[in-house]
């Protein structure tokens, strides 16, 4: 009798949630009733945290939390753009910003598994016009190459109306190589680098003979069944379900215009939604895309000069909490704020996608993380 009463209360809560405004829509997916009963406290706690952040801190975005391979929670909060009539939903697609780096890293790891490159190969073996003969592929993956920021050269010399893609940026670097010297000797220091991952995407193109978007669709998005994910050179404002980025002004929300650095990919440029990112995590854990051994290498911290631990692997940041290895990354680009946390052994993840320049995503993810990791 008690179990029947609990089931009725759970169903009532779900129906009540579905009748809320879409701007605070929470969606649960659970494989069976027993799983619902067991995790109901976590579900309610996550939902309460997100509603609080939406109401008090103007969080706008989509969230998905999975546990042991199952989707525990999905929610949408706020608007696709500045117009409040256009609300976010589970199909909304966001620019992932630096979360894109893990996709670039996996593409490189795929090529390594196929024997088409070695991590210790020199970069100029594949892109000889670049002025960095001492840089190896592994330096790019681990942010130890010492490359200068390509934003500088683009903003100084690019004169076209359309933002340059990778090929044009590589050409600019080659033409102005005297201004693009390394910050330090490769392997000597750690310095987070967008340039390195832009170059890695170009390297994928040179080795595979395909454009980076084609390679990603054929080898990653397709096999992982990520039907709402793609690479885009420029903000795809007319594509269905793609959301706009904006920031909060003193009295209203203000749209963020395109920039001259929007045309590159590898360091950013992946567009996706929370469900596709859940599928991405599952594909990584299951070994569908790369072997578990290769994933383990991606999640292994760098030992700089064999002395200093740097909590970065290949496209992922690394953290250990209560002896649990976590692979994660954040993204920040033109109003988009993104976060993905993956717990490989537990098959669990936290995915947060925001389009309103939300400044407290770190605080939010820690609150959700604490709930998820509570036994």
Q: What is the pLDDT of residues 29-56, one digit of tens each?
A: 445 566 666 688 999 999 999 999 999 8
Give the Å distances, CA to CA, from 140 to 158, 159, 170, 315.
Answer: 24, 28, 15, 10
pLDDT at position 35 is 62
Question: Residue 162: how many CA atoms within 13 Å on its side-chain side?
Answer: 6
Whether the per-residue pLDDT at 23 is higher than 90: the answer is: no
Tokens of 272: 């996706």
Give the pLDDT mean for 125-140: 97
Structure confidence by residue, pLDDT tens digits, 51-73:
999 998 889 999 999 998 999 99
Q: Please say whether the beta carbons of 46 and 352 come within 8 A.
A: no
Strand partners, 333: 336
- In the chain, the number of structural domains is 1
CB 267 within 8 A of CB 197: yes
Residues facing residue 340 across a β-bridge: 329, 351
What angle do the packed helices 361-372 and 33-57 form, to 10 degrees? 160
pLDDT class of 18 with cuts at 50, 70, 90: very low
Distance CA 362, CA 317 (A): 14
Reported as a pLDDT band with limits 50, 70 and 90, residue 14 is very low
Which residues make Cβ contacts (< 8 Å) with residue 5, sequence separation at least 6?
Answer: none
For the stretch 308-318, pLDDT in tens is 999 999 999 99
CATH number at residue 59: 3.40.710.10
Tokens of 321: 């909490």
- Phi, psi of 290, deg, nearest 5: -135, 160
**Residue 254 — pLDDT band, cuts 50, 70, 90?**
confident
Q: What is the pLDDT averaged over residues 220-241?
A: 87
pLDDT (average), residues 86-109: 95
The pLDDT assigned to 301 comes to: 96
8 A C-beta contact, residue 354 and residue 362: no
Quote the tokens at residue 245. 């980025």
| Per-residue pLDDT tens digits for 318-369 | 999 877 889 999 999 999 999 999 999 888 999 999 998 989 999 999 999 9
Cα 16 to Cα 56: distance, rounded to the nearest angstrom = 22
What share of the chain has pLDDT > 70, as a percent? 87
Mean pLDDT calculated for residue range 160-187: 96
- Confidence class for position 255, pLDDT limits 50, 70, 90: confident
**pLDDT tens for each residue of 212-223:** 999 999 999 999
pLDDT value for 300: 95
Per the listing, tokens 């609300």 go with 87
Q: What pLDDT, on a 0 to 100 scale, did the predictor assign at position 102?
A: 98
Average pLDDT score over residue span 85-112: 94
Instruction: Tell me the average pLDDT of the chain.
Output: 88
Tokens 């920040």 label which residue?
332
Report pTM. 0.89
Let me know: does 118 contact 137? Beta carbons within 8 Å: yes
DSSP conformational letter for 258 = P
Domain that holds residue 352: 2-372
Q: Pick from 160, 146, 140, 152: which is nearest to 176 by CA?
A: 152
The pLDDT assigned to 7 comes to 43
């Amino acid at each position: 009798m008690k179990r029947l009463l609990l089931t009725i209360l759970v169903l009532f809560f779900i129906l009540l949630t579905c009748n809320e405004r879409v701007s605070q829509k929470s969606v649960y997916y659970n494989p069976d009733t027993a799983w619902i009963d067991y995790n109901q406290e976590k579900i309610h706690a996550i939902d309460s945290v997100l509603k609080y952040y939406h109401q008090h801190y103007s969080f706008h975005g989509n969230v998905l939390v999975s546990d042991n391979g199952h989707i525990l929670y999905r929610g949408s909060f706020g608007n696709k753009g500045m117009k409040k009539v256009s609300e976010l939903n589970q199909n909304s697609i966001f620019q992932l910003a630096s979360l894109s780096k893990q996709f670039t890293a996996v593409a490189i790891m795929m090529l390594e598994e196929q024997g088409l490159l070695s991590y210790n190969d020199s970069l100029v073996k594949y892109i000889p016009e670049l002025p960095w003969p001492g840089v190896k592929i592994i330096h790019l993956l681990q942010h130890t190459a010492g490359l200068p920021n390509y934003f500088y050269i683009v903003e100084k010399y690019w004169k076209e109306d359309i933002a340059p893609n990778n090929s044009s940026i590589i050409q600019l670097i080659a033409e102005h190589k005297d201004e693009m010297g390394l910050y330090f000797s490769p392997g000597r220091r750690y310095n987070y680098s967008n340039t390195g991952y832009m170059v890695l995407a170009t390297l994928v193109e040179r080795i595979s003979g395909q454009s980076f978007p084609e390679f990603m669709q054929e080898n990653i998005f397709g096999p992982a069944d990520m039907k709402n994910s793609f690479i885009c050179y420029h903000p795809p404002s007319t594509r269905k379900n793609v959301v706009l980025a904006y920031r909060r002004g003193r009295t209203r929300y203000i749209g963020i215009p395109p920039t001259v650095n929007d045309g590159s990919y590898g360091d950013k440029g992946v567009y996706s939604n929370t469900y596709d990112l859940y599928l991405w995590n599952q594909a990584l854990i299951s070994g569908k895309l790369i072997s578990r051994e290769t994933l383990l290498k991606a999640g292994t911290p760098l030992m700089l000069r064999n002395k200093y631990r740097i909590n970065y692997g290949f496209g992922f940041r690394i953290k250990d909490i209560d002896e649990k290895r976590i692979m994660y990354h954040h993204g920040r680009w033109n109003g988009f704020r993104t976060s993905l946390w993956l717990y490989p052994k537990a098959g669990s993840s936290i995915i947060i996608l925001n389009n309103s320049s939300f400044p407290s995503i770190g605080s939010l993810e820690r609150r959700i993380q604490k709930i998820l990791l509570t036994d």
